[in-house]
Amino acid sequence: MAIARQVLCVCAFLSLPHARAEPIRYSVAEEAESGSLVGKLAEDAGLTPAQLSARGARLVSEDGRQHFRLERGSGRLLVAGRLDREELCGQSGSCM
């Protein structure tokens, strides 16, 4: 099986009391399928899914497109649709 290139680093920063105060970084393989697990955001932030939901956690992107989705009930971060590195980052050597 070929190793997929890493395309995107998803950073979650939760500046909430009783949560981690440093960024949480995730890497996503290029062309990961829709619904693929990126990470367990609630767990990685030291929160329960209910706490994450109660705090109004949401995803925001610079381009306004939703590349990921947050399942508030489980606290999981998932790929929302196929990621295309060239479309997202052009010919840039790194893609964040």
pTM: 0.70
Name all domains of the chain by residue range, CATH numbers in brackets: 32-82 (2.60.40.60)
User: Residue-wise pLDDT tens for the chain (96 aa)?
Assistant: 334 444 444 545 444 454 556 788 888 887 788 899 999 999 998 899 999 888 888 888 777 888 899 998 999 999 998 877 777 777 777 776
Phi-psi label, residue 46: left if phi above 0, alpha if psi -120 to 50, beta otherwise: left
Alpha-carbon span 31 to 80, nearest angstrom: 11
